[in-house]
Amino acid sequence: MQITKRNAQLIVDDSLMRLYVAAPKTEGFYPGILFYTDIYQLGGSMTRLADYIAGHGYVVVAPEIFHRIEPVGSVIEPDDIGRMRGNDDARRTPVADYDTDCTAVIDFLKKESSVSPGQIGTLGFCIGGHLSFRAALQSEMRAAACCYPTGIPSGKLGRGVADTIQRVNEIKGEILLVFGTLDPHVPENDRQTIANALEDAHIPHRILLYEAEHTFMRDDGYRYDPATANSAWSEILAFFKRIFAI
């Protein structure tokens, strides 16, 4: 399916937040996806992932998660210096600001003329995986696909301690978790803590484990695993297709 691409903007707390919007070219109604990047924001690797899912019949909206700190359009290089910069941006962003941004993007999706009413989900990677898991606390979210989400058990997300794991029982939709078993950033005990919390709260969920490292779906990194990434994508697309009945 061919897609269109554009940049939109929202003013949130007097800060301009850029949104990258990818959507099917054919007119119609489609589910909306709140797409969360990793700490490097909207570089080519992340926009290619957003484009990919849009091409399967979704209106994808990806915000710049550090818009209060970084100039509009900033792409952080995925190198050692960029890693320090992105992690520092994350550390300096209050958890409440992430929540405010989440609500703002959901409202944006609900106003998009091509988004089917009541059909909203979320997808994220790394810190974005945590943000997608946290976005699932919003009542509008029917589905959340969280790829190697960091910091959920510890509450590490931004300034302050995120209460994400304590609020699991607020989730109304379904959760898909994608993990790499060789990922030191989401070790086995963290994965088990998340699984236990979801099971205790009776939240419909599925956990996928791959023999892969952190960020194995990012196509410009040395840990990229194309075959495993394709396998994960097939599961993510099937997950959304089932829930949104498309």
Q: Supply the residues annotated as catalytic.
A: 126, 183, 214
**Radius of gyration (Cα) for the chain, nearest Å?**
16
Tell the burial category of 233 from Cβ atoms under 10 Å away from its Cβ (0-12, 13-18, 19+): middle
Q: Distance between CA atoms of 72 and 87, rounded to whole angstroms? A: 18
Q: Residue 96: count other Cβ atoms within 10 Å of its Cβ.
A: 13
Q: Which amino acid is at 156?
A: K
State phi, psi for 146 to the nearest 5 degrees: -120, 110
Q: What's the rounded Cα separation, in Å, for the pair 30 and 19?
A: 18
C-alpha 175, offset from chain centre = 12
The total of other beta-carbon atoms located within 10 Å of residue 34's CB is 27
Here the tokens at position 222 are 């040395």
Alpha carbon of residue 244 to chain centroid: 18
DSSP H or E run through 83: helix 80-92
CA distances for 86 relative to 91, 139, 213, angstroms? 9, 29, 19
